[in-house]
Structure 1
Amino acid sequence: MTTPVTVIEGGVVATMDGVRAEHAPGHLVVRDGLVEAVGPGPAPALDPATPVDRVDARGCLVTPGLVNTHHHLYQWATRGLCVDDGLFGWLTRLYPVWARIDEGVTGAAAAAGLGWLARTGCTTTMDHHYVFPSGGGDVLGATIDAADRIGLRFLATRGSMDLGRSRGGLPPDEVVEDIDTILAASAAAVDAHHDPGPRSRVRIGLAPCSPFSVSADLLVESARLARGAGVRLHTHLAETRDEDDYCREHFGCSPVDHLQKLGWLGDDVWFAHGIHFDDTGIRELAASGTGVAHCPSSNARLGAGICRTRDLRDAGVPVGLGVDGAASNEAGSLVEEARQALLLARARGGPEALTVRDALETATIGGARVLGWDDRIGSLEPGKEADVAVWRLDTLPHADIVDPVAALVLGTRPPLELLLVAGRPVVERDRLVTAHEQALAAEVVRRQRALLGNG
């Protein structure tokens, strides 16, 4: 049976292509999971014998699917805890809870988190999983299975921690692994799951957790392994002033300089948060092509600070958005991160610090660039993957907002008329169609109660 061609027409199309073309109204044609045509006005005539699914997008804004560049999906099961702590206190209190997670908890949390990411316009997400309790089963595999079930494009990073409290690190010893175990598991994850092909739905990266939870040896060896395998590198960096103090006390330099000495700058690397980079650090990131995952809601929730988004972008640093772990961002909504990024940038730098289209850019093609996937996703261009969000803007909260991009970025979260990943529907009429939302919620609640000792 011939797969129907999908034709979306009548809405405003924000392509996020190289010239940031917008068509009002415009059309988008999807064939075999790829964008075949995009442009102004109605779609071109198709062969009458071609089966067509037509989407009436009048009253809607059509954008690329959003790209989430930093997340910890397992934390969906520990939302609402330690809500008034800063980062180090928050981690200290939650590590003992996370030490009890297993693949059941992780899979349920990942499915719920991914389902809500889809409902908020996300078509591609990464996940930074760095807690591997003994006897917990295949927790990384559980996140990959969840992504396949929900239908999102997925960059799963095999995280790691080898520096426990007894060796001067922050995490308790029971949640860290030895370096040989980490490297063997990292290599196995790449071999089992990484697909570098042009139609890939799953990729793997390596992601030691942070300067205060991993050794220099682990950072060096992980970089060597990743580059030998052709996968990307990720870690947290410059999230708090405490981290900066830690690096200067233990390594005699800034966090950026510490990572640079260990070979951790490059266009295959991106850092989460990046709040406290100085001017020199920003220049080093720009010169090396190193990216930054900006997590505005989590940064504000933990009181960590405001990222220098405008300075990073002006310097040429690739910048994307991340919701971060659901335990430091109870909303878990990617479209809302675009709004938070704009508001915080303007709170710091004035009304010209970030435009509404800058914010949409960081949520789409900017995020794709950070993940090294911008040749295939992040914009609506012929030949690219048909990862598409259709936002309904003709309801009460948005109907009279003149600029549709401003309506999306500055308004409340609009209903999602349609979400396609490689041309396949994941959300229709603001409802997840790949899984039952109530079942996802019930399962994660059941797992959470057992984890917290309330079940």
Structure 2
Amino acid sequence: MIVIEGCAIATVDAGGTEHADGHIVVAENRIVAVGPGPYRGDASVTTVDGRGCLATPGLVNTHHHLYQWATRGYAQQEILFGWLKELYPVWARLDAGIVHAAASAGLAQLALTGCTTSTDHHYVFPRDGGDLLAAEIEAAAEVGLRFHPCRGSMDLSEKDGGLPPDSVVEDTDAALAATKDAIDRFHDRSFGAMVRIAVAPCSPFSVTPRLMEEAARLARAEGVRLHTHLAETVEEEHYCKEVHGCTPVEYAERLGWLGDDVWLAHAVHLDPAAIAKLGATGTGVAHCPSSNGRLGAGIAPIRDLLDARAPVGLGVDGAASQEAGELGAELRQALYLARLRGGPAALTARESLALGTMGGARCLGRADELGSLEAGKLADIALWDLNGLGHAGIADPVAALVFGPAAPLRLLLVNGRAVVQEGALSTVDTSAIAGSLARAARGLR
């Protein structure tokens, strides 16, 4: 057993339970006890000194494009459509080696910033590129993160009225078959699974209605979740109204893409009717504040979505539109953007922490396993070190974490295994990963 004691604890449970000085007991891959004061059980346990630290659930990243770690810094002044047009020809040269290098770097950075579970939305499958999904799943196993890769797809190219060039789209039937194959090969339905697959056609402007509808039927027949981009930019809204005669959320509803088994990336441009619809159907949202800011896409109505009872999690988004790739920093970004939109009462520090933990777990359909520190849940725990100069003097540890600078990790447990110790990864060599990524990026350039 492992006992973390002497730390402040924010459990993020339904009652918002916190302990100023408490302990967490872990046996194998489960939390078996959380409480105030020192641990008074078996003296033979491994003890972690948590004095000056804050323990929270591990952060859950609900939207990413890991392959983009090899293409950071491009199209620096473009909106989404111009950014995509510059990058699609570069991504057409992806292969399994590049994807493994990029995924390793992205997942390592996530781990170092408190993330224990990450999704990935991979939708670019160049011909002869190799087994790209397997490459990133291998990288996640090496880094040690819980992983929810989303088998994406695009079948609507420029010649048919879409945005992507022919070189990066798939045949509709081939995309559906590959998605079914990904579920058969990799999806683990068991409690505590380290890998689960979601079905994820890319967006309204890169996917045909047929692929959207048949992907939804496939996902529901297989009992897996659905993910796509929606309502990210005003240009997308104009596209949907011009091509489909409706808003993006109305289009999603028409195709069977609303429900408690769906979570949508971005959801920036929503009218009150759309917000109510997402809340009523339990459709989740992956809020990506830094990426939305980098591309000038706008500020998502997070307060309104929460008030409508829609599940909302945080995402870093692809590293070509969020070059830092740090999930911990998104707690502050989400807070700031919500307040820019709705004033200083729009989001609290604890609500922001809940977005990054339980909100993400709800989006991924894993609220019974992840997202809070409670007995019986999986031992995915972040122990943030608040002893340093950057947090000194802030009496409220949750405020210190959210408002303050990036906090180093004393310990990050994933499934009960130490992935980060004393601010360093214990599973992989970050210098080797950085070298592999630099070579992959140079090759693409």
What TM-score does the superposition give when structure 2 sets the normalisation length? Answer: 0.99
- Structure 1 residue 284 corresponds to structure 2 residue 277: yes
Candidates 289, 293, 308, aligned match of 1:296: 289
Give the deviation of 1:451 after TM superposition. Answer: 1.5
Question: What are the within-5 Å matches in structure 2 for residues 5-404 of structure 1?
Answer: 5-46=1-42, 48=43, 51-404=44-397
Distance, in Å, in 2 between the alignment partners of 1:93 and 1:191 is 34
Compute the displacement of 1:9 (Å). Answer: 0.4
Any idea what SS the aligned residue of 2:23 has? Answer: strand
Q: Hey, what's the Cα distance between the residues in 1 that align with 2:174 and 2:416?
A: 39
Post-superposition shift, 1:167?
Answer: 0.1
Q: Secondary structure at the match of 2:390?
A: coil
Letter in 2 for 1:124: T
Shift, 1:309, TM fit: 0.5
Q: Which moved more, 1:36-45 or 1:21-30?
A: 36-45
Letter paired with 1:97: V
What is the identity, as a one-letter code, of the residue corresponding to 2:167?
E
1:44 & 1:246 partners in 2: Cα distance?
62
In 2, the alpha carbon distance for the partners of 1:241 and 1:402 equals 42
Give 1:438's aligned residue.
Answer: 431
For residue 52 of structure 1, report the CA deviation from its aligned partner: 1.6
Q: Distance in 2 between matches of 1:211 and 1:99?
A: 20
Q: TM-score, normalised by structure 1?
A: 0.97
Deviation at residue 45 of structure 1 after TM alignment: 1.4
Structure 2 counterpart of 1:181, one-letter code: A
Q: Distance in 1 between matches of 2:245 and 2:78?
A: 28
Superposed CA RMSD: 0.6
Inter-partner Cα distance in structure 2 for 1:304 and 1:274: 10
Rounded Cα–Cα distance in structure 2 between residues aligned with 1:123 and 1:44: 28
Post-superposition offset of 1:34: 0.3
Q: State how far apart, in whole Å, the 1-side matches of 2:74 and 2:251 are.
A: 32
- Which stretch of structure 1 is more off in the superposition, 267-276 or 399-408? 399-408
Distance 1:93 1:79 in 2: 12
CA distance in 2, matches of 1:194, 1:386: 21
Aligned mates of 1:33, 1:219 — CA distance in 2: 37
CA distance in 1, matches of 2:168, 2:18: 49
Q: What stretches of structure 2 of length at least 5 have no aligned partner?
A: none
- 4+ residue runs of structure 1 moved beyond 6 angstroms? none
Superposition deviation, residue 20 in structure 1: 1.1
**2:419 counterpart SS class:** strand
Report the secondary structure of 1:70's partner residue. coil
CA distance in 2, matches of 1:370, 1:226: 15
Q: Between Structure 1 and Structure 2, how many residues are aligned?
A: 445
1:32 Cα deviation after fit: 1.1
Shift of 1:44: 2.8
Q: Percent identity?
A: 61
